[in-house]
């Protein structure tokens, strides 16, 4: 692996001149530039970003921590981040936390050690520590998808309360009175907010809220499955189910198939997060759809603004709307 010095020697110039050619900085005579470029080509020289970054204190790299890259919602979001980053000349390092605080902690350290210029984070729980650690370290950070109460930090997320509110209200408008909601873990803001939106809609409709109708598990198919089994075995069986994310929806559907209950004839089922069109053969579920890709790009743009040092007066909270897509599963 040739170094900049070897290129310089071969081209008969100083190494800084080679540096200037590589980075298109400063003034170089066309003739010198050509000599240098020739030497670079001949030696197959590849600049060492490590050394460059060590000196310049910029890595042109950002870290993205999501909870599960296997979930299409996060993949789409990641894709949005990557596209925006790429356009601005940044590389993205992805990490999966699997909703584990320990993994989050670990990856956070890896990324900070790698001197990423900025960080995009879907926090595992509404954990304050990680964010403060990052801020203390001086690295710009944007929180994605979830709220972190009581910390001042840039955030890009969707309006989960409103999404759940719309879903619930729609079910009520169809005449449902017994509506159950199956949500994620307590402390995960999206899971909490969706329950809040549900409560809001029911209160507005003057429907008494039965706490037995509110299930809290995880954002996984397994959890969706077991919450559904519990729900349909309630003394007063609900006539409609709200699944608080796509994986819960899948698990719920599996459970209902097993007990041979038809959707929507025997029970209505609506969910959060659409699956991407590219993965769906029979669009079936009524859902509150979130603009995952836009979340990614907006977050990256916000981070870039911070990186460019545009000192905005305060931290921003960008809240994107959710859209109700009505299909057959709601009857």
Residues 201 and 194: beta-carbon distance below 8 Å: no
48 binds DNA (CB under 7 A): yes
Selected binder of DNA within 10, 19, 171, 285 (CB under 7 A): 19
Residue 51's DSSP bridge partners are none
Residue 98, judged by CB atoms within 10 A of its CB (0-12, 13-18, 19+), counts as middle
* Binding-site partner at residue 300 among DNA, its own copies, none, CB < 5 to 8 Å by type: none
Site string for its own copies, 69-108 (x = CB under 8 A): xxxx--xx-xx--x--------xxxxxx------------
Closest Cα to residue 127, out of 156, 163, 97, 91? 97
Closest Cα to residue 263, out of 234, 232, 288? 232
Sequence-separated (6 or more) residues with CB below 8 Å from residue 16: none
259 binds DNA (CB under 7 A): no
Selected binder of DNA within 34, 38, 41, 54 (CB under 7 A): 54
Phi (first) and psi of residue 270, to 5 degrees = -130, 160
Sequence-separated (6 or more) residues with CB below 8 Å from residue 214: 180, 181, 183, 195, 198
98-117: contacts with DNA (CB under 7 A): none
Segment interacting with its own copies, rule: CB under 8 A, options 66-74, 120-128, 237-245, 311-319: 66-74
Segment interacting with its own copies, rule: CB under 8 A, options 24-32, 48-56, 164-172, 308-316: 48-56
Segment interacting with DNA, rule: CB under 7 A, options 11-19, 84-92, 276-284, 322-330: 11-19
314 binds its own copies (CB under 8 A): no
* Binding-site partner at residue 132 among its own copies, DNA, none, CB < 5 to 8 Å by type: none
Selected binder of its own copies within 262, 278, 308, 314 (CB under 8 A): 278
The pairing of strands 323-325 and 286-289 is: antiparallel
Closest Cα to residue 78, out of 294, 319, 318, 321? 294
Q: Where do contacts with DNA occur on this chain (CB under 7 A)? A: 1, 3-5, 12-17, 19-20, 22-23, 25-29, 31-33, 47-48, 51-52, 54-56
């Amino acid at each position: 692996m040739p170094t900049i010095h070897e290129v310089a020697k071969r081209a008969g110039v100083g190494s800084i001149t080679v540096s200037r050619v590589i980075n298109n900085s400063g003034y170089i005579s066309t003739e010198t530039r050509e000599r240098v470029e020739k030497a670079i080509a001949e030696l197959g020289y590849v600049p060492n970003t490590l050394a460059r970054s060590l000196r310049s204190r910029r890595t042109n790299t950002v870290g993205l921590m999501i909870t599960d890259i296997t979930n299409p919602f996060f993949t789409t979001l990641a894709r949005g981040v990557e596209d925006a980053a790429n356009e601005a000349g940044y590389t993205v390092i992805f990490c999966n936390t699997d909703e584990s605080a320990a993994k989050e902690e670990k990856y956070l350290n890896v990324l900070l050690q790698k001197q990423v210029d900025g960080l995009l984070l879907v926090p595992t729980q509404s954990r304050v520590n990680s964010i403060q650690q990052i801020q203390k370290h001086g690295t710009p950070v944007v929180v994605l998808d979830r709220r972190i109460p009581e910390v001042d930090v840039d955030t890009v997320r969707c309006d989960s309360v409103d999404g759940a509110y719309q879903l619930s209200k729609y079910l009520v408008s169809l005449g449902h009175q017994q509506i159950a909601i199956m949500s994620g873990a307590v402390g995960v803001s999206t899971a909490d907010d969706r329950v809040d939106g549900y409560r809001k809609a029911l209160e507005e409709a003057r429907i008494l809220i039965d706490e037995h109708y509110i299930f809290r598990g995880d954002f996984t198919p397994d959890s969706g499955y077991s919450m559904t089994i519990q729900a349909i075995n309630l003394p007063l069986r609900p006539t409609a189910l709200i699944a608080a994310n796509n994986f819960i929806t899948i698990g719920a559907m599996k459970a209902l198939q097993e007990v041979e209950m038809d959707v929507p004839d025997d029970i209505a089922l609506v969910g959060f997060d659409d699956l991407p069109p590219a993965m769906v053969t029979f669009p079936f579920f009524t859902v509150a759809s979130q603009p995952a890709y836009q979340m990614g790009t907006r977050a990256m743009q916000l981070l870039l603004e911070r990186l460019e040092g545009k000192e905005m007066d305060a931290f921003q909270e960008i809240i994107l709307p959710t859209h109700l897509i009505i299909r057959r599963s709601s009857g």
